[in-house]
Amino acid sequence: MSSTPIQLSRCGKTFADGTRALAPLDLEIAAGETVVLLGPSGCGKTTLLRLIAGLESPDPGGTVRFDGEDVTALPIERRAVGMVFQSYALFPNMSVRDNVAYGLKVRRLPKGEIAARTEEMLEMMAIAPLAGRRVHQLSGGQRQRVALARAIAVRPRVLLLDEPLAALDAVLRDRLRVEIDALLRRLAITAVYVTHDQAEAMMLGDRIVVMSGGRIEQAGTAREIYRAPATPFVAGFVGTVSRVADLAGGEALLRPEDIEICAVAEGRIAATVETAHFLGGRCQVTLSGPDGGRLIAEAPPDAAPPVGARVGLRWRDAAVIRIPLMEAAQ
Amino acid sequence: MSNRDLPRLVLLAVPAGAFALAFFLVPLARLAAAAAGGPKGLAAYASVVTEPRHFESMMATLALAVGVTAATLVLATVAGLFLSRHAFPGRGALVAVLTLPLAFPGVVVGFLVIMLGGRQGVIGGLTEALGAGRLVFAYSLAGLFVGYLYFSIPRVILTVMASAEKLDPALEEAARSLGASRARVLKDVVLPGLAPGLTAAGAICFATAMGAFGTAFALAANIEVLPMTIYTEFTLNANIAAAGALSLVLGAVTWAALYAARSLAGPPVAAAA
């Protein structure tokens, strides 16, 4: 499968009722790259995906390019994209096999080729034994596999996934996430994946685009976004942060794993333990700091301090996340 | 259900059972007996085939009902889909006006058809003014067709709108993402999604057109649909046996159509109907 880079330029979206879903933004997605659009509901991530898909058109002035070709005016049916929906959107009046074959039939490929490619997809997604079943006879995980098979059977230029795992339970979600990751690497297809789940984003994305209020807050690798968040929003949305006083001005933030609980005398600041939750491999401890602010730290699973205890907190200077004042003011 | 519950359940079924017996089964049995008790005996039931006048009436009624159902489904599907897909000022008022025919009895619908296509009708005046002679269609099957269409369309539009709103919009988007044109999406996704609702609505439409009397009575003149034939046999000819036999045949045909629609579309129809 050849890979297609995507270039979005000045893409904004204002709906007919005047709601501005997206502020004009630029985004380049490299060929074969998996980009995850991450953000809370209403942040514009789905609208951005639909602009790329051709289900929405950008406000005048915005352009969408696939491999340099301007596709802004093309509707979705002529963009050669594969799309996977949260609701699966499988055709209930067709069997699993007919669902997977649908795009190939629409393209009027020779019968033999349709059959061969459909079987290949069924095998690849491990749903061959279900080929004759109706959609309503499948479990949620099986449905999502069929939806993926149907989307990639047509060998799309880009694969677009709109919260594909949101409707599944936690165990199944973890398993399918691993499968989707392996699939995307294997196909080396350009993929855009929308989610509000940061764990999903960090695992799947070559790059994560964090969005809020219709704009891009930060785009970068999982490590960059976690270690060097550009805005307080990103710091708070991806992982947990605690705010500590910073003499240099601006925000000084700490990840829970970087805050060490120690004796009051050894700590940089003193705090009172409010709650301690055993989470298996570690304990999450909530504390109230000197100025009354809430701090979240981690403790070894069997060594959490008792609730109400006065403890000291210390951290390495290198662990402090500093967000420049100008960015923080936004 | 355990055996202990049985007496209680029987008791609960008594009121409905008594009603069905007194007002449905007993008169029906009397009707069946009366139909078979005429001079021709059981052969009265065959009159719909053997008697040319009855046969023609049956065929005309069937043709009318099928035609009205087909035309209604096409027109109402287009209108219903449009109304459910587009928001525009006055949409609510338009839907309310479209359902207005449901408020009129068949006789009034007959009057309306006469106003439109009768001897003094609007259309006749129009065609005369255009020099094409007076077009009068109210007193024929065409008039009945227009009248039935008028009161069938609202029911089906409401069904289509309800079904269309239940369709997952992602289904259409998925089909389009796979390259399907608008026409293809309609054929592969929208119509199959509407099918259970359309089958149910179509069956009701057919049954109504088979048995409607008021409109036919108001238009009278040259129309011999089965309910009119039954009325004529019963009141004018005092041929109770023929009237009874035709009534039962009409009921059987209509019931068979409803039953077929229900089994064709499977369980969802029963729920939707």
Q: What is the pLDDT of residue B269?
A: 35
Instruction: Based on the fold, state whether residues B71 and B189 are members of the same structural domain.
Output: yes
Instruction: Based on the fold, state whether residues B213 and B238 are members of the same structural domain.
Output: yes
| pLDDT surpassing 80 at residue B198 | yes
Question: Angle at Cα B101 formed by Cα B98 and Cα B105, nearest 5°?
Answer: 170
Q: Domain count of chain B? A: 2
Tokens representing B217? 């009575």
Interface confidence (ipTM) of the complex: 0.86
Q: Max Cα separation, chain B?
A: 80
Instruction: Based on the fold, state whether residues B95 and B138 are members of the same structural domain.
Output: yes
Task: Please state, in angstroms and rounded to a whole number, the distance separating the CA atoms of residues B221 and A190.
Answer: 72
| pLDDT surpassing 60 at residue B170 | yes
Q: Which of A282-286, B46-50, B67-71, B196-200 has the lowest mean pLDDT?
A: B46-50
Choose the closest CB to A89 out of B173, B181, B195: B173
| pLDDT surpassing 80 at residue B221 | no
Q: Which comes out higher in pLDDT, residue A49 or B115? A: A49
Which residues of chain A lie closer than 8 angstroms to B173, CB-CB? 55, 76, 83, 85, 89
B235 lies in some domain: yes
* Domain limits for position B137: 48-265
A102:B175 CB<8 A: yes
B43 lies in some domain: no
Using an 8 Å Cβ cutoff, are B254 and B226 in contact? no
Which residues, including other chains, have CB under 8 Å from residue A166's CB and lie 6 or more apart? A86, A195, A196, A197
A148 — contact with chain B (CB < 8 Å)? no
A106:B171 CB<8 A: no
CB pairs below 8 Å between A and B: how many?
A: 63
Give A100→chain B minimum CA distance, Å: 10
A53:B188 CB<8 A: no
The region, left, alpha or beta by phi > 0 then psi within -120 to 50, assigned to residue A18 is left
Q: What is the pLDDT of residue B268?
A: 43
Length, in residues, of chain B: 273
Q: Which of A95, A32, A100, A26 is nearest to A65 (CA)?
A: A26
Instruction: Based on the fold, state whether residues B110 and B234 are members of the same structural domain.
Output: yes
Give A10→chain B minimum CA distance, Å: 24
Choose the closest CB to B170 out of A82, A89, A154: A89
Q: What is the pLDDT of residue B73?
A: 95
A89:B171 CB<8 A: yes
Instruction: Based on the fold, state whether residues B9 and B107 are members of the same structural domain.
Output: no
- Residue A72 DSSP SS3: coil
Chain B interface with A: residues with Cβ < 8 Å: 168, 170-171, 173-181, 184, 188-189, 192-193, 195
Choose the closest CB to B179 out of A77, A90, A91: A77
Give A175→chain B minimum CA distance, Å: 24
Give B181→chain A minimum CA distance, Å: 7
**Number of CB atoms found within 10 A of residue A102's CB:** 26
Q: For all residues of chain B together, what is the average pLDDT?
A: 85
Which residues, including other chains, have CB under 8 Å from residue B5's CB and lie 6 or more apart? none
**Number of CB atoms found within 10 A of residue A119's CB:** 15
A positions 43-102 inside 8 Å of B (CB): 53, 55, 75-78, 80-83, 85-87, 89-93, 102
A positions 94-133 inside 8 Å of B (CB): 102-103, 106-107
Instruction: Based on the fold, state whether residues B68 and B29 are members of the same structural domain.
Output: no
B179:A75 CB<8 A: no
Give A241→chain B minimum CA distance, Å: 37
B204 lies in some domain: yes
Length, in residues, of chain A: 330
| pLDDT surpassing 90 at residue B225 | no
- Residue A273 DSSP SS3: strand
Which residues of chain A lie closer than 8 angstroms to B174, CB-CB? 83, 85, 89-91, 147, 150
A75:B176 CB<8 A: yes
B179:A93 CB<8 A: no
B42 lies in some domain: no
Q: What is the pLDDT of residue A244?
A: 82
Instruction: Based on the fold, state whether residues B99 and B4 are members of the same structural domain.
Output: no
B155 lies in some domain: yes
Sheet containing A63-66: order of strands: A20-29, A6-14, A63-66, A69-70
B206-233 average pLDDT score? 84
B196-215 average pLDDT score? 89
Q: Max Cα separation, chain A?
A: 78
Instruction: Based on the fold, state whether residues B177 and B63 are members of the same structural domain.
Output: yes
**Number of CB atoms found within 10 A of residue B244's CB:** 25
Report the predicted TM-score, pTM, of the whole model to 2 decimal places.
Answer: 0.81
Give B174→chain A minimum CA distance, Å: 6
A80:B179 CB<8 A: yes
Which residue type, as a one-letter code, is found at position A62? G
Q: What is the pLDDT of residue A16?
A: 87
A151 — contact with chain B (CB < 8 Å)? yes
Instruction: Based on the fold, state whether residues B27 and B52 are members of the same structural domain.
Output: no
Tens-place pLDDT, residues B3-61: 678 888 888 888 888 888 888 888 888 888 888 877 777 777 787 788 888 888 889 89
Using an 8 Å Cβ cutoff, are A199 and A225 in contact? no
CATH of the domain at B237: 1.10.3720.10
The DSSP secondary structure of A171-228, one letter per residue, reads HHHHHHHHHHHHHHHHHT-EEEEEES-HHHHHHH-SEEEEEETTEEEEEE-HHHHHHS
Q: What is the pLDDT of residue B273?
A: 28
Q: Which among B86, B172, B176, B178 is the top mutation candidate for probing chain A, defined by the most A β-carbons within 10 Å of its own β-carbon?
A: B178
Residues in chain A predicted with pLDDT less than 70, given as ranges, are 1-2, 246-250, 324-330
B217 lies in some domain: yes
pLDDT band (50, 70, 90) for residue B265: low
B181:A77 CB<8 A: yes
Task: Please state, in angstroms and rounded to a whole number, the distance separating the CA atoms of residues A197 and A310.
Answer: 35
Q: What is the sign of the dihedral through the CA atoms of B212, B214, B219 and B220?
A: positive
- Residue B198 DSSP SS3: helix
Instruction: Based on the fold, state whether residues B200 and B225 are members of the same structural domain.
Output: yes
A positions 224-263 inside 8 Å of B (CB): none
Instruction: Based on the fold, state whether residues B248 and B146 are members of the same structural domain.
Output: yes
Instruction: Based on the fold, state whether residues B88 and B193 are members of the same structural domain.
Output: yes
Using an 8 Å Cβ cutoff, are A314 and A264 in contact? no
Q: Which among B86, B168, B176, B177 is the top mutation candidate for probing chain A, defined by the most A β-carbons within 10 Å of its own β-carbon?
A: B177
